[in-house]
Amino acid sequence: MEAQREALFQRMLDNPADLDAAFAYAAISSKLGDFEGAITALERMLIFAPDLARVQLELGVLYYRLGAYATSRDYFQKAVSGDNVPDEVRASVARYLAEISSNEKRNKFSGSAFAGVKYQTNANAGPASSQININGI
């Protein structure tokens, strides 16, 4: 699968407008867990075809998997903003948006604590003698 991905990557470099190669590369990258690589390929596709709802849907899913919910929501909303969006796609997007809202509402609590102890026999670095000798005087 990795060799196929490398071949698709080379096809994308040779012909940046080959959207089929870019989509196949993104699909394989996603299966291999390289979400960032898949996102890069899909976002590059939007340069050549900015209104592809399927690409926006896939980007929404990938950003959701990364936990970037705000970006994911934006892509999901763009994916269903067109006129000819199938009902299954709308239902899928609605489920993802509901899950995003649920994840964002969860209370999160985190913190850290630090403690330390140090012993110093001469903390102020003062002289040991009560007399001070300045330049031999």
pLDDT of residue 107: 64
3-class SS at 43? helix
User: How many Å is the maximal CA-CA distance in the chain?
Assistant: 96
Which of 20-34, 95-109, 121-135 is predicted least confidently? 121-135
CB atoms within 10 A of CB 69: 17
> In sequence order, what are the residues at sequence separation of 6 or more whose Cβ sits closer than 8 angstroms to the Cβ of residue 59?
39, 42, 43, 46, 72, 75
pLDDT of residue 27: 92
Kindly report the pTM of this predicted structure. Answer: 0.70
Q: What is the domain partition of the chain in residue ranges?
A: 1-50, 52-106
Instruction: Tell me which residue of 49, 33, 2 sits closest to 23, measured CA to CA.
Output: 49
Q: What is the pLDDT of residues 63-108, one digit of tens each?
A: 999 999 999 999 999 999 888 888 888 899 999 999 998 888 876 6
Q: State how far the Cα of 100 lies from the Cα of 68, in Å rounded to an integer.
A: 10
Averaged over 53-64, what is the pLDDT? 92
Which of 53-62, 94-103, 126-135 is predicted least confidently? 126-135
More confident residue, 128 or 111: 111
DSSP state of 80: T
Q: State how far the Cα of 69 lies from the Cα of 99, in Å rounded to an integer.
A: 10
Q: State how far the Cα of 100 lies from the Cα of 106, in Å rounded to an integer.
A: 10
Q: What is the pLDDT of residues 10-27, one digit of tens each?
A: 999 899 888 999 999 999
